[in-house]
Amino acid sequence: MIRKIGIAGNERTAVNPEDQNEYTFSYTPKEFVEGVTKAGGLPIILPLGQPEQAKDYIDLIDVLLLAGGQDVDPSLYDQDPHEKLGDLFKQRDTFELALIQEAIRQKKPIAGVCRGMQLLNVAFGGTMIQDLSLDPSLTLAHVQSPVPLTKATHEITIEPNSYLAEFLPETVAVNSYHHQAVDQIAPPFTVTARATDGAVEAIEGVIDSSCILGVQWHPEQGFKTNPTDQEFFTYLVERFN
């Protein structure tokens, strides 16, 4: 039976230059869809909705996948916004937090990429470094622009006996596009990968029988040129339980 991967969607508003009307789109990066499909799964995009719809959405899927995007609202981890904080989307935070709680209630696994990992950490009591410049020890170029995200730019080290260790080598190169980093780790999680400057690159844990995996890099952007990134999607579809 094909496994259904629910990808929590984002929204974007744009003005059509031809008629000057404003349109709002529900979307997820196409590469998430392609990565899941290539792994043999069925991608289902979950459009941004209301918290009370979370049960119906989670009923439809086997794995919840939280994608990247805006910064997580710092009020969720009891901090005031720093001047270098990026865009927020509070409705998205609220909806995805409801999806997380419902997935756990239904004992379904959850994976998070970039912002998705950060939200998982915040959801269970962790905190964020609101901008990498606030921690001088984080010296790598974690925003690799203008280098394309299809290329890996720095290495991470993976802990043994982790979910990641089931499909990745101990040391692997990843891409990097984030201006924030996980700070205090939520109690349910352990850090299972770090960059060479110490930045948290992965967290894992089990909450009420729900397996949870978060990664800071972007496998959806690298899988076409980097086979180890495709392994992320293969793991979600075939073995992540």
Domains in the chain, CATH or no CATH each? 4-238 (3.40.50.880)
**Is the pLDDT score of 15 beyond 90?**
no
Residue 19 banded pLDDT, cuts 50, 70, 90: confident
Sheet architecture: strand order including 171-174 = 42-46, 4-8, 63-66, 110-113, 210-215, 200-207, 190-195, 154-158, 171-174
**Given this model, what pLDDT does residue 43 score?**
98
Tell me how crowded residue 15 is: count the other CB atoms within 10 A of its CB.
Answer: 10
In this prediction, residues 147-166 reach a mean pLDDT of 97
Catalogue the active-site residues. Answer: 114, 218, 220
Query: What is the chain's Cα-based Rg?
Result: 17
Q: How far apart are CA 67 and CA 120, in angstroms?
A: 11
Residue 92: the pLDDT is 98
Helix (H, G, I), strand (E, B) or coil at 166: helix
Where b means 16+ CB within 10 Å and e means fewer, 194-218 reads bbeeebbbbbbbebeebbbbbbbbb
What's the rounded Cα separation, in Å, for the pair 118 and 216? 8
The C-alpha angle with vertex 228 and arms to 109 and 146, in degrees rounded to 5, equals: 105
Question: How does residue 17 score in pLDDT terms, banded at 50, 70 and 90?
Answer: confident
Nearest CA to 102 out of 49, 67, 66, 52 is that of 52
pLDDT of 18 above 90:
no
The enclosing H or E element of 13 equals strand 10-15
Return the SS3 of 76: helix
The mean of the pLDDT values for the chain is: 97
Residue 86 pLDDT exceeds 90? yes
User: Above 90 in pLDDT, residue 20?
Assistant: no
pLDDT score at 183: 98
- What's the pLDDT tens digit per position in 99-153? 999 999 999 999 999 999 999 999 999 999 999 999 999 999 999 999 999 999 9
Against a cut of 0.85, is the pTM above it?
yes
- pLDDT at residue 33 tops 90: yes
Burial 47-64 (b: 16+ CB within 10 A, else e): ebbeeebbeebbeebbbb
